[in-house]
């Protein structure tokens, strides 16, 4: 029995390698695949037959003969099958249908009205159900890939711990699989983003990356030698809960002085509001939003910075100073090739990135000073969906960069 199991596993592995080779090197002949990856021509032929039957590979043109018959060329077809990507956050759920290259075919954004716990889970299931209703059948669907903040056990498909969404030990993968009968994949969102930067973004040549998101809190995804680092319980990358001020601000994790209490949008917002309320603090934000404090958004903050607003610069300086402590610790622990920043307060904000580089360069051990490489994300507006696509393409097809 064991031998049969091993054989099946071997066949599946070969199939993944063959598909990946066609994807990267197509149009390519069967014999060139065999030569390129050193697998027997018989194995290539039978795997290719299966892949053609499934529709992910098609014959496309005739190659040059090496003496015998002219070979038929093969090409990867990303459009016959599709994946469903779902991203859950505090304020919205995004869902999309994508081809096997992560191109979006259809997308919907639903507000969550800040629901939490069981409510957000049933809302997620309801949104998936409605989204799938437009399909006659689910034959071409390769599966559902869900990404969410917080600690996720990707192997078991469980959302282990998310204080903002009030999710604790929720077996979301099993729930989705039971309801829809589709293979389901679950991962932490920042893990998905670092994978997507590597798959679809400008950072494909790097193997050691750290991806940091700054929003209501701070999260990070870590890739070392091309692999996501998850840790024993899946909680690696909780950069937001590393201590940077001993006895500092109380954090909702129970600790004090965690990084994300100092680096987050609500903190910036309240500093701006406090300054607006107190006389003598001049800022162009006053002209931009008038009396309506709700109009102060990260984009307004970034615009004011770019126009040279000194109050906003002072606030940014405090934030960046705190963030640099977390980044120094990260660099000294992991020695990444690149640190990628994302979040609304970083977008279109070269000042932020440059100031951060400055702070980090001053504090990093001298031998690493020249190597400090901090850059904004390259993923664009659909980063959540690209993250979900990267997870399923890696898990199911084992596509490599």
Q: Which residues bind Zn ion (CB under 5 A)?
A: 241, 251, 253, 255, 258
175 vs 253 by CB, closer to Zn ion: 253
**Minimum gap (Å) between residue 263 Cβ and Zn ion:** 12
Q: What is the Cα–Cα distance from 128 to 204, expressed in whole angstroms?
A: 31
**Minimum gap (Å) between residue 243 Cβ and Zn ion:** 8
Q: Is 376 left (phi over 0), alpha (psi -120 to 50) or beta?
A: beta
**Minimum gap (Å) between residue 342 Cβ and Zn ion:** 20
Q: What is the dihedral of CA 208, 213, 217, 222, to 10 degrees?
A: -20
218 vs 389 by CB, closer to Zn ion: 218
124 vs 236 by CB, closer to Zn ion: 236
212 vs 258 by CB, closer to Zn ion: 258
105 vs 333 by CB, closer to Zn ion: 333
Paired strand residues for 227: 224
**Minimum gap (Å) between residue 384 Cβ and Zn ion:** 24
Q: What is the Cα–Cα distance from 359 to 343, expressed in whole angstroms?
A: 19
Retrieve residue 235's tokens. Answer: 């909680």
**Minimum gap (Å) between residue 224 Cβ and Zn ion:** 24
Q: What is the Cα–Cα distance from 373 to 340, expressed in whole angstroms?
A: 9
In the Cβ-directed half-sphere of 201, how many Cα atoms lie within 13 Å? Answer: 28
| Angstrom distances, CA of residue 281 to CA of 272, 273, 275, 277, 312 | 10, 11, 6, 9, 11
71 phi/psi in degrees, rounded to 5: -80, 150
Closest to 101 in 3D by CA, of 174, 35, 26:
26
19 vs 263 by CB, closer to Zn ion: 263
Place of tokens 């990628």: 340
């Amino acid at each position: 029995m064991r031998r049969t199991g091993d054989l099946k596993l071997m066949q599946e592995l070969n199939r993944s390698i063959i598909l990946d080779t066609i994807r990267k090197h197509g149009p390519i002949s069967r014999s060139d695949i065999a030569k390129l990856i050193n697998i027997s021509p018989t194995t290539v032929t039978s795997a290719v037959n299966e892949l053609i039957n499934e529709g992910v590979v098609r014959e496309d043109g005739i190659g040059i003969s090496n003496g015998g018959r002219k070979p038929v060329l093969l090409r990867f077809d990303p459009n016959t099958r599709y994946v469903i990507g779902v991203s859950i956050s505090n304020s919205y759920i995004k869902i999309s249908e994508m081809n096997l290259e992560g191109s979006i075919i259809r997308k919907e954004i639903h507000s969550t009205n800040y629901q939490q716990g069981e409510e957000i889970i049933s809302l997620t299931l309801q949104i998936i159900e409605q989204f799938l209703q437009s399909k006659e059948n689910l034959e071409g669907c390769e599966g559902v890939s869900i990404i969410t903040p917080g600690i996720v056990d990707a192997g078991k498909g469980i959302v282990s711990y998310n204080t903002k969404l009030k999710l604790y030990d929720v077996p979301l993968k099993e729930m989705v699989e039971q309801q829809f009968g589709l293979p389901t994949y679950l991962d932490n969102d920042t893990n998905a983003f670092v994978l997507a930067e590597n798959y679809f973004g400008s950072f494909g040549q790097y193997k050691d990356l750290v991806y940091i998101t700054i929003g209501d809190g701070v999260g990070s995804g870590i890739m070392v030698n091309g692999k996501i680092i998850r840790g024993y319980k899946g909680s690696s990358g909780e950069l937001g809960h590393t201590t940077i001020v001993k006895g500092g601000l109380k954090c909702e994790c129970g600790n004090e002085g965690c990084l994300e209490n100092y680096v987050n949008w609500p903190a910036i917002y309240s500093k701006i509001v406090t300054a607006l309320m107190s006389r003598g603090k001049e800022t162009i934000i006053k002209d931009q939003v008038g009396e309506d404090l709700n109009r102060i958004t990260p984009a307004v903050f970034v615009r004011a910075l770019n126009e040279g607003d000194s109050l906003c610069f002072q606030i940014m300086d405090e934030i960046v100073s705190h963030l640099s402590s977390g980044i120094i610790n990260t660099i000294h622990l992991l020695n990444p090739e690149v640190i990628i920043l994302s979040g609304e307060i970083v977008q279109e904000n070269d000042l932020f990135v440059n100031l951060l580089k400055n702070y980090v360069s001053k504090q990093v051990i001298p031998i690493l000073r020249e190597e400090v490489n901090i850059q904004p994300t390259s993923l664009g507006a659909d980063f959540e969906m690209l993250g979900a696509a990267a997870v399923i393409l890696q898990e199911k097809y084992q596509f490599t960069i």
